[in-house]
Amino acid sequence: MTKLYPLKFHPILIDKIWGGEKLSRYINKKSDSKELGESWEISTVPGDVSVVSNGRLKGTSLQELINQYPIEILGDHNFKRFGKEFPLLIKFIDAKRDLSIQLHPDDRLAKERHGSFGKTEMWYVMQADEGSNLIIGFNDKVDKDTYLYHLENKTLTSILNFDEVEEGSAYFIEAGRVHAIGAGVMLAEIQQTSDVTYRVYDWDRVDTNGNERELHNDIAIHAFKFDLKDDFRVEYGDSPNESNEMVSCPFFTTNFLPIQGELSRNNTYGSFIIYMCVNGEVEIITEDFRETISKGETILIPASVKDFNLISNNANLLEVYV
């Protein structure tokens, strides 16, 4: 069997009507586009499958590796749960303009309608212009009829919750929770593997041909969570060389991991581990391999890689596993 090692991938760069230039300016994504909206770091979404960029497996797709080494990549319990499907999609996002107001179906609805996972996700803000906002949930109790009234009368934003953000702000968004990334925000996104989005309002904007983007209100209404819950802001510690828990849910766990000096890790999670570097630079060293990631880069530690060291003068990582 090929001995696996920490895997980096070529980013999949995607232009969006709301995208900008921060991904190329701040985290070195190679693009001349002025509408670069997303960098998909780790993906097995059909048509957008990540390809290894380092080591002897360079040029191999992640799905090929999972097909060949499912337990070694995913871990035993993830293989039993997901088969040869990779359960997460990892992104960096730059919103030069407001994203549409949207939500995502849960696992049951997504499987029934789209043959897909649902989409529960979280955000970590890497940079935000002064006064930038995210929309998450409602600002008061809302039922279906109230929502539909405001949607019909183009007053939807009056009942939505706007949160002003800054670097380091973090949010957890359950499937069914209405949300939007506001203009001026660049963030890291961790989500279930799904590209299913129900767009309910797009600020009445049109493309260069004068066409509005498709809305999905007929099907979105069945996916909504209308309950008023103020539990989406993520509070977390920042103790150096410790995995400070941010989010733990059935779909993923994310920790905030500041590295100062050298940290020895033993993978006791029984899962692959993903590290997203959100600040600084860190070296990952195994018995026979070493790799470096810097701000805006991501690496996948296969489940079979049990022992490794992380070395940095001062880096911040998001540590993700299932």
Spell out the residues 6+ positions from residue 104 whose beta carbon is closer than 8 angstroms to its own: 110, 118, 119, 120, 121, 175, 176, 194, 196, 197, 198, 223
Q: Return the pLDDT at 207.
A: 76
CATH homologous superfamily for the domain 12-220: Jelly Rolls (2.60.120.10)
pLDDT at position 1: 58
The pLDDT tens digits along the chain (322 residues) read: 579 999 999 999 999 999 999 999 999 999 999 999 999 999 999 999 999 999 999 999 999 999 999 999 999 999 999 999 999 999 999 999 999 999 999 999 999 999 999 999 999 999 999 999 999 999 999 999 999 999 999 999 999 999 999 999 999 999 999 999 999 999 999 999 999 999 999 998 887 788 888 999 999 999 999 887 788 999 999 999 999 999 999 999 999 999 999 999 999 999 999 999 999 999 999 999 999 999 999 999 999 999 999 999 999 999 999 9
The CA-based diameter of the chain, rounded to the nearest angstrom, is 62
Residue 165, pLDDT score? 97
Tokens of 4: 């696996």
For the chain, the straight-line distance linking the first and the last C-alpha, in angstroms and rounded, comes to 24
pTM over 0.85: yes
Q: H or E element: which one contains 67?
A: helix 62-68
Of 270, 289, 210, nearest to 7 by C-alpha is: 289
Count CA within 13 A, CB hemisphere, residue 167: 6
Residue with tokens 């002064």: 130
CA dist 135 and 203 (Å) reads 13
Number of residues in the chain? 322
Q: Does 12-220 match 244-321 in CATH topology?
A: yes
Please name the CATH architecture into which domain 244-321 falls: Sandwich (2.60)
Q: How far apart are CA 40 and CA 182, in angstroms?
A: 19
CA dihedral angle for residue 251, residue 54, residue 309, residue 66, rounded to 10 degrees: 40
Domain ranges in the chain? Answer: 12-220, 244-321
Q: Which helix (H) or strand (E) holds 144?
A: helix 144-152
